[in-house]
Amino acid sequence: MASWSLYFLVEILRCASLLCLLCLDDMACVVYGAQEITLPVTSLFPSPICKASTSNANSTLKLVHKNSPCSPLFNGEPVNHTQLLLEDIARVKWIRSKISGASAANSLKDSAVSITAKYGAGGGSYLATIGLGTPKKDLTLLFDTGSALTWTQCEPCAVSCYSQAEPIFDPSQSSSYANISCSAPSCTQLPSGTARPSRCSGSTCVYATGYGDQESFTVGFFATETLTLSSTDAITSFEFGCGQNNGGRFKGFAGLFGLARDWISFLEQSATKYGRYFSYCLPPSTSSTGYLTFGMGSMTSASASFTPISMVSQSSLFYGIDITGISVGGKPLSIPSTVFSNVGSVIDSGTTVTQLPPTAYSALRSAFRQAMSNYRMSAPASPFDTCYDLSGSTMVTVPVITFSFRGPIDVQLDPSGVLFPVTQSQMCLAFSSTGDETAFGIYGNIQQRSFEVVYDVPGGRIGFRAKGCS
């Protein structure tokens, strides 16, 4: 009987694969088995056409990948994956320096208008459009759970501004704009969110912060303004950075939208209205849209599985998360629990590729390669060392990868969180090693794709709801 059951299962999967070849909608052709997933190779590549997702009915902001055809900044250029990954490496280095306690500020000059960068905004980041000022002006900002300060470029760009798609915000045209005084308590508290001392220009507070590609920075006036999320949602007297000197590798977007764990972040400044609750869904394809929503009432947390937020003692900005194990193809990997518990991990919206301790990554890589032994391997594509040439394949079958977190909860990754398309024919295992058993791990945004990720900060927990973008 067992052999007949296996025979019928194989036949069902074979027929399903044949039907997929005739499908017009790639994602409708995904075939889920107990330990593996079969899907069209083309479904793993981004489309040049925007495919709007069916987002949460109560969502406040639409999220799009910065290189997406759904983005208001899209110029038709193909994604430069090499550049994207280099930017991602810069961000990873910044996060590690913050968590390890190493000072990256030593290389910064004292001048508030001439600083060296110290951390990267992330290669594969996502954008949200907010309103600022009275009357409001729409601005597209990089959404970031690892940064605290929200800032945008401001006229008159006293020193320099980089090129952005939308008109640069002009505070002189807003009736609700006001500079913050140097003597204000919030000015003296700025370093917790910027890692740089505040300065004064006359009696006005001046902020400065930089980013880890060693080039990007922003300096300007610390001010208050009305920040609008929707026709019914606005935060008055919101404290933000009005950048007068901005440069480096920023391109197109107008600034950053900070949701890290710091008093200056949007999370804390909107706490009275939204209670420190937010969630987002990063779409399974960079060619479709997701959402970012605030407040407990807009969440579907009843169907989410939760893990506690762990403390990152070296830097309170980040959201810590405790990985306890990994399974490939339904089989738990033989990884000592201390590999994860001795160092810890953070979850980050701006880091693209998940970083694992060498022991954990080696075990994952070995199991994945064994499961993918029917496919031809290709040359590595840094930082990836497990890549495949799928140019001759119409369908691909990948093993199910499941992460276990403290709770305990299990999160089965979407196929888009397993393979990363480097070229039109090359796919790579979308993970990398930290290179050091003592370095913090990072749970990146590729592995978060398609999930509603729920941040219940008062409850000290983070939740995952599968198929959260639909």
92-107 tens-digit pLDDT: 876 776 676 544 333 3
Instruction: Please tell me the number of Cα atoms within 13 Å of 212 on its side-chain side.
Output: 25
**Interstrand relation of 452-456 and 354-356 (parallel, antiparallel or unpaired):** unpaired
Sequence-distant (6+) residues with CB within 8 A of 326 are 332, 333, 335, 360, 363, 364, 401, 402, 403, 404
Specify the 3-state DSSP secondary structure of 36.
strand
CATH of 304-465, one of 2.60.40.1220, 2.40.70.10, 1.10.1060.10, 2.60.120.10: 2.40.70.10
Which of 144, 262, 322, 414 is the catalytic position? 144
The pLDDT of residue 107: 30
pLDDT digits over 281-290, tens only? 998 888 889 9
pLDDT digits over 425-440, tens only? 899 999 999 999 999 8
The pLDDT of residue 194: 85
The mean pLDDT of 55-67, rounded to a whole number, is 72
| Domain locations along the chain | 11-42, 61-292, 304-465
Phi/psi at 33 (nearest 5 deg)? -105, 180
Q: How many CB atoms lie under 10 A from the CB of residue 341?
A: 13
* 179 strand-pairing partners: 223
144 part of the active site: yes
84-121 exposure pattern, b = at least 16 Cβ within 10 A, e = fewer? bbbbbbbbbbbbbbbbeeeebeeebeeebbebebbbbb
**304-465 shares the fold of 61-292:** yes
Sequence-distant (6+) residues with CB within 8 A of 182 are 198, 200, 203, 204, 205
Name the residue with tokens 């790639």: 26
pLDDT at 81 over 80: no
The mean pLDDT of 386-392, rounded to a whole number, is 93
The mean pLDDT of 5-12, rounded to a whole number, is 43
Phi/psi at 160 (nearest 5 deg)? -165, 145
CATH class of 61-292: mainly beta
Which of 88, 348, 414, 456 is the catalytic position? 348
88 part of the active site: no
